Structure 1
Amino acid sequence: MVIAMKPMTKNLWREIRASKGRFIAIILIILMGCLIFVGVRAAGPGLNESLTTTVQKAKLSDVQLMSTTGFTRKDVKAAETVAGAQAEATKFTYVTGGRNALAVALYGYDRQANLNQLTLRSGHLPRSKTQVVLDYRAKSEYNYKLGQKFTFGKTSALKHRTYTIVGFADSPQYIDNGLRGAANVGDGTVRFFAYVPQSQMTIPASLLSVRFKSLQGHNTYADSYKKARNQKLKQLKTVFKKRATTRSADLYQQALAKIAPQQAKITAAQKQLQQAQAQMSQASGGQVTTTPEITAQLTQLKAAQAKLDAAKTKAKAQTKTTYTYQDRSDLPGFSAYGESSDRIAAIANVFPVFFFLIAALITFTTITRMVEEARGQIGTFKALGYGKWAIAKNYLEYALIAAIVGGLVGSVFGNETLPRFILALYGQTIPMIATVRMQWASLALALGFSLIATVGAAAFVVRRELQEGPAALMLPKAPKSAKRILLERITPLWTRLNFNQKVSYRNLFRYKSRMVMSIIGIAGGCALILTGFGIRDSIIASGTRQYGDIVKYQAVVSLKGQAKKAQAVLADDSKYQSSTKVMADTAKVRFGDESVASVNVFTPKTDDFSHYIHLSTPQGNAIKLPQQGAVISQKTATLLGAKAGDRVSVTITGGKRVSLKIAAITKNYIGDYLYLSAAAYHKAWHKAWHKAATSNALLVRLAHQSDHQRNTLAHRLLKSGAVLGTSFVADQKATIDNMSSTLNPVVMIFIVMSGLLSFVVMYNLTNINVSERIRELSTVKVLGFYDREVTMYVSRENIVLTLIGIIFGYGVGNALTWYILRQATTAQVMFPLTIHWPGYVAAAVLMAVFTGVVILVTHKRLQHVDMVSALKATE
Structure 2
Amino acid sequence: MMGMTTAYLKTIFREIWRSKARFFSILLIIFLGVAFYTGIRAAGPDMSQAATSYFHRQRLATNSVQSSLGLTQADTAILNQHRDRFRYQTERYLDVSQRNNNRVVRVAELPTVQRVNRLRVTQGRLPRHANEIVLDTQARVLQPSLKVGRTYRIASTAAVNRQFTRRTFKIVGFVNSPRYLENVSRGVTTVGKGTLDYLAYVRPQTLTGNVPTRLDVQFKNLQNVQPYSARYKRLNRQNTADLKRWLRPRAQQRQHQLQQRATAKLAPLKRQVAAMQGQVPANTPQLVQLTAQLRRAQAKVQAIPRATYVYTDRTDNPGYTEYHENTQRIVALSTVFPLFFIAIAALICLTTMTRMVEELRLQMGTLKGLGYSNAAVGSEFMIYGGLAALLGTALGVVFGVNFFPQFIAQAYGSMYNLPAITVQYLWGDIGVALVIALACTLGIAAIVLRVDLRSLPAQLLQPKAPKAGKTLLLERWTGFWRHLNFNHKITLRNLFRYKQRMLMTVLGIAGCMAMMITGFGLKDSIGDISTKQFNDLWHYDAMVTRSGRETAAQRKALRQSATYRRSLTLSSQKATVTQSGVAEQTVTLGVPRTPDRLNRFVTLRDRQTHQTYRVTTQGAVIDEKLAKLYGVKVGDRLTVKPAGQTARRVKVAAVAENYVNHFIYLSPTYYRQVFGKQPTYNSNLVQFTHDSERAGNDYADGLLRHAGFLNVTLMRTERQTTFKTFDSMNLVVLIFVISAGALALVVLYNLTNINVSERIRELSTIKVLGFYDGEVTLYIFRENLILTGMGIVVGCFLGNWLHTYILQTAETNALMFSPGIHWLSYLYSAVLTVVFSLLVMGLMHRKLKRVNMLDALQSVD
Partner of 1:61: 61
Structure 1: distance between partners of 2:466 and 2:743: 31
CA distance in 1, matches of 2:491, 2:404: 42
Structural mapping, 1:415-564, within 5 Å: 415-427=401-413, 430-554=417-541, 561-564=548-551
Shift of 1:672: 5.1
Find the aligned partners of 1:544 and 1:473 in 2 and give their Cα distance.
66
Query: Which residue is 2:560 aligned to?
Result: 572
- 1:104 aligns to what? 105
Q: CA deviation at 1:551?
A: 3.8
SS at structure 2 position matched to 1:163:
strand
- Residues in 2 aligned to 1:561 and 1:651: alpha-carbon distance in whole angstroms: 22
TM-superposition CA deviations, 1:251-297 (whole Å, max 9, x none): 4433444x15xx23x444444444445xxxxxxxxxxxx5xxx97xx
Q: Which range moves more in the overlay, 757-766 or 703-712?
A: 703-712
Following superposition, the deviation at residue 872 of structure 1 comes to 0.9
2:201 is the counterpart of 1:215: no
| 1:616-658 per-position Cα deviation (integer Å, ceiling 9, x unaligned) | 33433333456645555444444454555x5546566555756
Q: Which residue of 1 aligns with 2:791?
A: 805
Residue 175 of structure 1, CA deviation: 3.0
**Separation of aligned partners in 2, 1:128 and 1:362:** 68
Output the CA distance in 2 between the equivalents of 1:587 and 1:467: 75
Residues 476-533 of structure 1: CA deviation (Å, up to 9, x unaligned): 2111122233444444544444433332222222212111111111111111011011
Q: Give the TM-score of the pair, scaled to structure 1.
A: 0.87
- After the TM superposition, which of the residue ranges 824-833 and 26-35 deviates more from structure 2? 824-833
Query: 1:424-823, aligned counterparts within 5 Å?
Result: 424-427=410-413, 430-554=417-541, 561-565=548-552, 567-582=555-570, 602=590, 604-606=592-594, 607-617=596-606, 618-625=608-615, 628=618, 631-644=621-634, 647-648=636-637, 655=646, 660=651, 664-671=654-661, 675-676=665-666, 685=674, 691=676, 694=679, 696-698=681-683, 700-703=685-688, 733=719, 736-823=722-809
Q: Is the 8 A contact 1:65 1:209 kept in 2?
A: yes
Distance in 1 of aligned mates of 2:488 and 2:467: 20
Match of 1:32 in 2: 32
Contact in 2 for aligned 1:651/1:657 (Cα 8 Å): yes
Contact persistence 1:382–1:470 (CA under 8 A): yes
Unpaired segments ≥5 residues, structure 2: none
Decide whether the 8 Å contact of 1:70 with 1:206 is kept in 2. yes
- Please give the alpha-carbon distance, in whole angstroms, between the structure 1 residues aligned to 2:669 and 2:277: 61
Q: Deviations over 1:444-495 (max 9, x none)?
A: 2222322222222112111132343322222221111222334444445444
In structure 1, what residue type is equivalent to 2:116?
A: L
Q: Which residue of 1 aligns with 2:91?
A: 90
1:379 aligns with 2:396: no
Indicate how the Cα distance of structure 1 residues 592 and 64 shifts in structure 2: closer, same or farther if over 3 A, else same. closer
Letter in 1 for 2:455: E
C-alpha separation in 2, matches of 1:185 and 1:632: 25
Residue 535 (structure 1) shift: 1.7
- In structure 2, the residue matched to 1:287 is none
Change (3 A) 1:828 1:121: closer
CA drift at 1:573: 4.5
Paired amino acid for 1:52: T
Of 278, 281, 286, the residue aligned with 1:300 is: 286
Asked if 1:254 is matched to 2:284, the reply is no
User: Which residue matches 1:122?
Assistant: 123
SS of the aligned residue for 2:448 comes to: helix
Q: How many Å apart are 1:759 and its aligned residue?
A: 0.5
Q: Residues of 2 paired with 1:187 and 1:641: CA distance?
A: 29
Distance 1:388 1:809 in 2: 42
Equivalent in the alignment of 1:152:
154
CA deviation string 1:525-582 (max 9, x = no partner): 1110110111222133345434443344455556654345554443234444434455
Per the TM alignment, residue 765 of structure 1 is displaced from its structure 2 partner at its CA by: 0.6
What do residues 57-83 of structure 1 show as CA deviations (whole Å, max 9, x unaligned)? 111222233344443444334345376
Residue 681 of structure 1, CA deviation: 6.2
2:791 aligned partner, one-letter code: G
Distance in 2 (CA, whole Å) between partners of 1:709 and 1:338 is: 41
Decide whether aligned partners of structure 1 residues 548 and 697 sit closer, same or farther in structure 2, where only a CA change above 3 A counts: farther
Aligned partner of residue 422 in structure 2, secondary structure? coil
Amino acid at match of 1:89: T
1:31-78 deviations in whole A, cap 9, x for unaligned? Answer: 111111111121122122212212221112222333444434443343
- Taking the aligned partners of 2:69 and 2:631, their CA distance within structure 1 comes to 43
Instruction: Give 2:47's aligned amino acid.
Output: L
Measured after TM superposition, the shift of residue 734 of structure 1 is 5.0
Instruction: Tell me if the contact between 2:605 and 2:612 (Cα under 8 Å) persists in the aligned partners.
Output: yes
Change (3 A) 1:715 1:227: farther
Report the CA distance shift for 1:251/1:664 in structure 2 as closer, same or farther (over 3 A).
closer
| Mean Cα deviation higher: 298-307 or 477-486 | 298-307
Moved more, 596-605 or 101-110: 596-605
3-state SS, counterpart of residue 353 of structure 2: helix
**What one-letter code is carried by the residue in structure 2 that aligns with 1:570?**
L
Write the letter of the residue equivalent to 2:597. Answer: D
CA gap of 1:182–1:657, structure 2 versus 1, over 3 A, is closer
Q: Secondary structure at the match of 1:71?
A: coil
Residues 1:240 and 2:240 are matched in the alignment: no
Indicate the SS of the match to 2:205.
helix
CA deviation after TM superposition for structure 1 residue 851, in Å: 1.3
**Maintained 8 Å contact 1:536/1:740:** no
Question: Which residue matches 2:332?
Answer: 346
- Please give the TM-score of this superposition, normalised by the length of structure 2: 0.88
Task: Say which is worse superposed, 432-441 or 771-780, in terms of deviation.
Answer: 432-441
What are the Cα deviations for residues 339-380 of structure 1, in whole angstroms up to 9, with x where unaligned? 433433333232222112111111121112111222222222
Aligned-residue sequence identity (percent) comes to 37
Determine the structure 1 residue equivalent to 2:851.
865
- Contact 1:612–1:699, Cα closer than 8 Å, also in 2: no
SS at match of 2:466: coil
- Residue type at the aligned position of 1:209: D
1:225 and 1:709 map into 2 onto residues whose CA distance is: 51
Aligned CA RMSD, in angstroms, stands at 3.6
Render the CA deviation track for 1:704-751: whole Å, top value 9, x for unaligned: 756787677667777766567666656765565244233221121111
Corresponding letter in the other structure for 2:612: A
CA contact 2:668–2:679 (8 Å) conserved in 1: no
Measure how far apart 1:854 and its partner are.
0.7
Which residue is 2:213 aligned to?
206
Count of residues in Structure 1 that have an aligned counterpart in Structure 2:
845
CA distance, structure 2, for counterparts of residue 251 and residue 355 of structure 1: 68
Which shows bigger deviation, 354-363 or 623-632? Answer: 623-632
CA distance 1:585–1:175, shift in 2 (3 Å): closer
CA distance in 1: counterparts of 2:29 and 2:555, whole angstroms: 65
* Cα separation, 2, equivalents of 1:649 and 1:427: 33
Q: Following TM superposition, by how much is the alpha carbon of 1:586 offset from its aligned partner in structure 2, in angstroms? A: 7.5
Give the deviation of 1:812 after TM superposition: 1.3
The residue that corresponds to 2:352 in the other structure is 366
Aligned to 1:171: 177
Residue type at the aligned position of 1:616: R
- On the 8 A contact 1:187/1:718 being kept in 2, the answer is no
Deviates more, 1:459-468 or 1:184-193: 184-193
Deviation at 1:677, TM superposition (A): 5.0
